[in-house]
Amino acid sequence: MALDLQDIPRVKTITKEEFITHYFKPQKPVVIERFIEDWPAYSKWNLDYMKATVGDKIVPLYDDRPVDYKDGFNEPHAKMKMSDYIDLLKREPTKFRIFLWNALKEVPQLQQDYTYPDFGLKLLKGLPMLFFGGTNSHTFMHYDIDLANIFHFHFEGKKEIILFDQKQNDYLYKIPHSLITREDIDFSNPDVEKWPALKKAKGYKTILEHGEVLYMPEGYWHYMKYLTPGFSMSLRAIARNPKNFSKAIYNIFIMRHFDNAMRRIKGQQWIEWKNNQAIVRTHKTLNGN
């Protein structure tokens, strides 16, 4: 049995009014296929261009190793010169990904290649983030600490994306005091006999290709797998729903500091307790339904 996933709706282009009415207000995802064809980035941005433009930068790299108590919050697993990393992406599959890299701040000329679209939401101008990955590398299923509205622009290659809204939390084996699910769940091909609660989760899926933009509503869980080497840029707008905004404040100012403190105090025992609780709590909810 596969996950209960429906295709994310797709449109060629969209007006601000259509976006607000059909997707933002009801908090539903959408892929806009031809929204950025007038951006210089649409024709310029590929791995070769990034190598030529930011190749001398040292970049933070992440892989899919299990969380270790010694790791800080979002602490990179390795660092590499960007030109060497892009050579690696093109040469062979690698688990190393670039995650939340504000290259546009470090290399301002990239900002000339795009404009901030008017979706009717105030986009945060200082936080355009880049993400890179090689064939079959993936993120854990997670949601963002600030529960933002996210516009995810993809460049070069193909990327598989699976989304769930916050109403599915009880079925996703969410790690307590964290923003991720169990890391040993392969959401692109999950073992639903081992993880039976997943059968009840209802989500969305799509394959994102060059030049397409995905709107992810506030707090949506997302799993992303690079089917081929490529990269994406995310622009974000703060959560407008008061409940989500208050969750974001809690996550940023309380939850992550509490989690880091418990890692220091309890060590790996804290990580193992959280991983176990993800199963205990999920199955308790499942059996109660």
- Residue 31 one-letter amino acid: V
* Sequential pLDDT tens for the chain (289 residues): 589 999 999 999 999 999 999 999 999 999 999 999 999 999 999 999 999 999 999 999 988 877 776 765 567 788 999 999 999 999 999 999 998 888 778 888 899 999 999 999 999 987 789 999 999 999 999 999 999 999 999 999 999 999 999 999 999 999 999 999 999 999 999 999 999 999 999 999 999 999 999 999 999 999 999 999 999 999 999 999 999 999 999 999 999 999 999 999 999 999 999 999 999 999 998 887 5
Question: Cβ(82)–Cβ(55) under 8 Å?
Answer: yes
How far is 154 from 215, CA to CA, in rounded Å? 12
Predicted pLDDT of residue 74: 61
How far is 221 from 212, CA to CA, in rounded Å? 19
Predicted pLDDT of residue 103: 75
Any idea what the Cα angle at residue 63 is, between residues 61 and 68, rounded to 5°? 105
Local structure of 253: helix, strand or coil = helix
| CATH number assigned to the domain covering 4-288 | 2.60.120.650
Nearest alpha carbon to residue 37 among 213, 157, 214: 213
Predicted pLDDT of residue 6: 98
How far does CA 116 lie from the centroid of its chain? 20
